[in-house]
Structure 1
Amino acid sequence: MSVDHLPKNKSDRALDTAKDKTREHARNLWQIISRYTRIEEIAKPTAESKRQPEHKQLYSSTFISTLSLIPYLLILLFGVSFYWDFNGLSTAIWGQHLQFEGLLKILSVSGLIGFFTNWIAITMLFKPAEKRPIFGHGLIPAQKNRIAHRLAQAVSEDLINPEIIKKKITDSNIIGRYRRLSTRYIKSIIDDPQFRSDIKQWVLKYLDEMIADPEIRAALAKRILTQIEEALHNKSFEKIALKTYTFVKGQEMQSIIEEALVQIPTSVESGLDKLDDLLDQLPRKIDKNSENIENIVTNLLYKLINQLNVHALVEENLRSYDEQHISNIIRSATNEQLRYIQYLGAILGVIGGFVIWEPLLSVILLGSLSAILLMLDQLIYQYTKAS
């Protein structure tokens, strides 16, 4: 069947059919590869990858829960002080006359002031999330763009800049390690006899379906003939030789090409045993060229890293968040410390109450206690460092 007798649109339809068959067989090939490589299972996020990084608590939940009782205790003491507040109770220490009356009220009020001032200050960092006519705007929401810029600058300059990433890649030898793992993984697949058999069957089925269709075969022959003619466009001697060959054969070149195409499946089938040799040699070839492969991958990664503008990426993402989301990010990361600061304000307020009640004695006691704590902290630090 000569393609010259095919209308152009019929030839085009045949090529479109060939493309459709090729896409279908490509999907079949992908299914074979997926089945043996388990690529879909590998692509699924594992439980380990889904697990969030463990958040290390600075303070135990019991300690925080205990501190949370302080404001309620201070409120209770403040209420009790209206009914009893060391009425008329006094004593003398080291010649210093101490009057206890009113102490409960002083301590409870000072402690509550310390707690609520810290609570208000922390709340003002995040609230109001949207600007209000009287209460204004929370510090963090109001400075969202500036925070985004500063965070992006810190990340890009100190945490994830290209030089740090390059050094990490080099020091960890991660590319070489993954190349060795990939080689072993590929070998485990291609050594499977069933995998080789399925690949061979796929090749033969694809060629059989493509060549068995007369219209597709004719269209392919026409395409090959066109390419031959283009290649011989300025080569007169080769053109004469080609015409002489077709004359001797007594056939048009189109028919000769079609006959050759019919023989392709048989020729390929007889030569498929060489595929085993190629697959056997593949791991060795990868190992032989391991240095070149690692250099290529490393250079590609370096080029990618150099194109990566971490500052712009981080800042753009942070700016896209609304004010409330930015506040939630910061608050969730520091909530434990912020709660501790609130309760610490109550403790410091109580200490301030003692200073108000009896300044000289309180300063002496606080100074002595602070000195003892500093020395103890230094001793523990040196012991820990030495061990």
Structure 2
Amino acid sequence: MLPGFILMALIGAGIGWFTNRIAIRMLFRPQNPLRIPVIGLSIQGLIPRRRLEIAASIGEVVDRELVSIEEIVLGLAAEKNRGEIIETIKQRVEEIIKSRLPALVPGYIKDLIVDFVNDIVESQANDVINELAEKITQKAARELNLRRMIEDKINKFDLGKLEDIILSVADKELRHIEYLGAVIGFLIGLAQAFVVYFVL
């Protein structure tokens, strides 16, 4: 009787592990619809079959809940980035002035001009950056569709690569699901053995 109990429990564990493993793989495969002639049923992995809906949902959530074009532009023009923007402009101004002015112009004159222009840049930069950020935000809001961009990117992504990424990132969790299937199958096997030997 004991060997029978153990055998049925092990068979149940094997079935539980195998079915969970197959279920995980069937999230991605088959990538293209596979028709079973005898029963006339067509099967396809959940993610390939609902890829367009998934991409649209992700695009909508990112655009509505996580980040918008306006937030991206305003983030780039935030106070913490302004110093870097202003320094870049000042360096560029210095390069242009010193390279474009004739060699006859003394170096100290060039330095005075650079300092003068940089003072203007320093005093006006914040207003200019604010104005530019507002214009870019308005233009981006009119012409760029973040939701559509994300949706298109996901739809163009190779399903094989997506499968590899998800399986590698969630490998530990997916293995736990497989093992859980084995544990549940083992317990069901024990319950069946109990029914067979003591009830029937």
Map of 2:130 onto structure 1: 295
TM-score, length of structure 2 as denominator length: 0.73
Is the counterpart of residue 175 in structure 1 residue 11 in structure 2?
A: no
The SS at the match of 1:289 is: helix
1:164 deviation in Å? 4.8
Q: Provide, for residues 107-152 of structure 1, a one-character-per-residue CA deviation record: whole Å limited to 9, x for no partner.
A: 2011111101111211222111222232732222122222222222
Structure 1, unaligned stretches of length 5 or more? 1-86, 88-99, 206-268, 360-387
CA drift at 1:292: 0.8
Q: Bigger CA drift: 154-163 or 340-349?
A: 154-163
In the TM superposition, 1:1-387 aligns within 5 A as: 100-134=2-36, 136-162=43-69, 164-165=71-72, 169=75, 175-184=78-87, 199=99, 203-204=101-102, 269=104, 274-306=109-141, 307-358=143-194
| Secondary structure in 2 matching 1:133 | strand
Q: Cα 1:284–1:339, aligned 2, differ >3 Å: closer, same or farther?
A: same
Q: Structure 1 length as normaliser, TM-score?
A: 0.41
CA 1:177–1:282: 2 relative to 1, 3 Å: farther
- Counterpart of 1:60 in structure 2 is none
- The number of residue pairs the alignment matches comes to 189
Structure 1 residues 152, 286: CA separation in 2 closer, same or farther (over 3 Å shift)? same
The higher relative CO (CA closer than 8 Å, separation ≥ 6) is in: 2
Distance verdict in 2 for CA 1:189–1:121, change over 3 Å: closer
Aligned to 2:39: none
User: Match of 2:35, SS?
Assistant: coil
Larger radius of gyration: 1
Does the Cα contact within 8 Å between 1:176 and 1:294 map onto a contact in 2?
Answer: no
The Cα offsets for residues 234-278 of structure 1, whole Å up to 9 and x where unpaired, read as xxxxxxxxxxxxxxxxxxxxxxxxxxxxxxxxxxx4688643322
Q: Which amino acid aligns with 2:117?
A: L
Give the letter for the 1:298 counterpart. Answer: A
In 1, the alpha carbon distance for the partners of 2:84 and 2:16 equals: 60
- Counting aligned pairs with the same residue, the percent is 24
Distance in 2, Cα, partners of 1:183 & 1:328: 43
| Alignment partners' CA distance in 2, 1:182 and 1:149 | 35
Question: 1:318 Cα shift?
Answer: 2.3
Decide whether aligned partners of structure 1 residues 132 and 179 sit closer, same or farther in structure 2, where only a CA change above 3 A counts: same
Between 1:109-118 and 1:150-159, the stretch displaced more is 150-159
Distance 2:12 2:51 in 1: 34
Measured against aligned partners, the alpha-carbon deviations of 1:197-256 in whole angstroms (never above 9, x if no partner) come to: 962xx5437xxxxxxxxxxxxxxxxxxxxxxxxxxxxxxxxxxxxxxxxxxxxxxxxxxx
Contact 2:97–2:110, Cα closer than 8 Å, also in 1: no
